[in-house]
Amino acid sequence: MKNVFAITGLSLALLTGCGQHFVAQQSTVEEGTVKKNTDSSKISPGKIWLDDNGEVINAHGGGVIFQQGKYYWFGEKRGRFASEGVNVYSSSDLYNWKLEAMALSQDKNDTLSDIARGCVMERPKVLYNEKTKKFVLWFHLELRGKGYSAARAAVAVSDNVTGPYKYISSFRPNGNMSRDMTLYKDDNGDAYIIYSSRENYDLRIAKLTDDFLSVTTADTMLFSNHREAPAIFKYNNIYHLITSGCTGWKSNKATLHTATNLFGPWTESKINPMSGPQADITFDGQSTFVLPVAGKKDQFIFLADKWNPGNLKDSRYLWLPIQFKNETPVVEWMDEWRLGWFENNLKKGNNN
C-alpha cells in the first residue's frame, strides 16, 4: 500500500497543519510537495493507507479474494457517516492498491429500491462460483431511513471480479434477522454465510445454494452469546472463527471458537486470540476477515477495522499476521511488518 508517506522539514509543518493523521515515514520533499513513497513494501496497521493514486483507501468492513494472480479487496465506501456503496481495489503484492471501481453503487433514481440512496451496505464479501463462472457479492443491507431494523442479507452478481455487480435481492435467511456477516467457501466448493441474528444474540450459519445466490434450509445456530463481526479460516482441518462482542463502533474483546464441523459444535477458546497492547479491545479494532496468503500453506492475515465513528471514512485498517503457538492462533500487535515475516517465523521454529 502506498500508505507510507514521508516528510521532512517544510512539508512536515504543512502536513501536521492539515491534521494529525498523516504519519511521517521515509520519503522526500520537493518544494513543499510530498512525493509518494515508492518503498511501500510494508503493512502499517492503523496508519493512513493510500492507494496508488495517493487517495486514502476507502474499503471498510471488507473482504479479499485472490483471482488470477491478484488480490481484490472489497469494502464499504464511507463518507463521514454515510454508506456510499462498495469499493473494490486490486493488488498483486498486498502492499500497493489500485482503486478498480465502485463494485456496487446505491440506486440514485429509485427511492423504492432496496439499495436506494441512503441505504446502508456493510461488510461486503465476494466469492467466485466455479459452476456459474460468476462473482457473487453478499453484504449486510439496511433499508433507507429504517435504521438497523431491516437486518437483511443482500446479494449482487457480476461476470467480472471488479463488477459492476448487478443487485439481485435481499432477505432474511430462512426468516432470520441478518446483520454482521461473512462468507466462507470450503475446500469442496460449498459456500456458507455466517451471520448475526436475533438482535445479534445468535450467530448462525446457512449453506448457500449451488449458484451462491441464495441460502438453503441447512441453517443452524452456532452459538448464542451475543457475538458479531465473524471472520473464519481453516487451519489443520479445524475451523477457526474470530468474533467481536456487540458494542457498535466501540471496540471490545475478540474471542476464538473452533470446530471440526461448520455446523458445530463450536468450542470457545479460553485464550484471547489477540496479544500485545490493547489486546483486550482487539487493538481498538473489530474483526472483519481472515485472508489466506495465496499459494502459502498456513499463512493467514487477520483483518480488522479501527472504526472512527466521528468520521467513518477515516476508519483505519488493522492487518496483522496470524501466528500459531502450540497450534493456537495468536494475533500479536506489530507497528509494521512485511510478508517475509511468515518465512522468518518458520525459520525460528514456530508453527508458521
Q: DSSP class of residue 271?
A: S
- Cell triple for 146: 429504517
Q: Which is nearer to ligand GAL, 225 or 351 (CB)?
A: 225
Smallest distance from ligand GAL to CB 309, Å: 8
- Choosing from 51, 100, 114, 180, the residue that interacts with ligand GAL (CB under 6 A) is 180
Smallest separation (angstroms) from ligand GAL to the CB of 49: 19
Q: How many residues bind ligand GAL, per CB under 6 A?
A: 10
Comparing CA positions, the residue from 258, 342, 262, 240 lying closest to residue 298 is 342
Residue nearer to ligand GAL on the CB measure, 180 or 202: 180
Smallest separation (angstroms) from ligand GAL to the CB of 96: 27
For 236, counting Cβ atoms within 10 Å of its Cβ (0-12 exposed, 13-18 middle, 19+ buried), the class is: exposed
**Could you give the CA distance from residue 63 to residue 194 in angstroms, rounded to a whole number?**
14
Q: Which CB atom, from 245 or from 273, has the smaller least distance to ligand GAL?
A: 245
CB of 37 to ligand GAL, least distance (A): 31
Query: Residue 347 and residue 34: Cα distance in Å, rounded?
Result: 38
Strands 238-244 and 228-235: antiparallel
Interaction between residue 134 and ligand GAL (CB under 6 A): no
Residue 229, classified by CB atoms within 10 Å of its CB into exposed (0-12), middle (13-18) or buried (19+), is buried
Residue placing its CB nearer to ligand GAL in the complex, 7 or 229: 229
Asked if 229 interacts with ligand GAL (CB under 6 A), we say yes
**Could you give the CA distance from residue 9 to residue 15 in angstroms, rounded to a whole number?**
10
Q: Is 202 in the site for ligand GAL (CB under 6 A)?
A: no
Residue of the chain from 51, 106, 228, 233 that contacts ligand GAL (CB under 6 A): 228
* Contact status: 248 vs ligand GAL (CB under 6 A): yes
For the stretch 79-104, what's the b/e string if a residue is b when 16 or more beta carbons lie within 10 angstroms of its beta carbon?
eeeebbbbbbbbbeebbbbebbbbbb
The interface mask with ligand GAL, positions 294-333, x = CB under 6 A, is: ----------------------------------------
Q: Are 8 and 25 in contact (CB under 8 A)?
A: no
Stretch that binds ligand GAL, among 153-161, 212-220, 241-249, 322-330 (CB under 6 A): 241-249
Give the nearest distance from C-beta 176 to ligand GAL in angstroms: 17
Is residue 123 close enough to count as binding ligand GAL by CB under 6 A? yes
Measured distance CA(230)–CA(167) in Å, rounded? 23
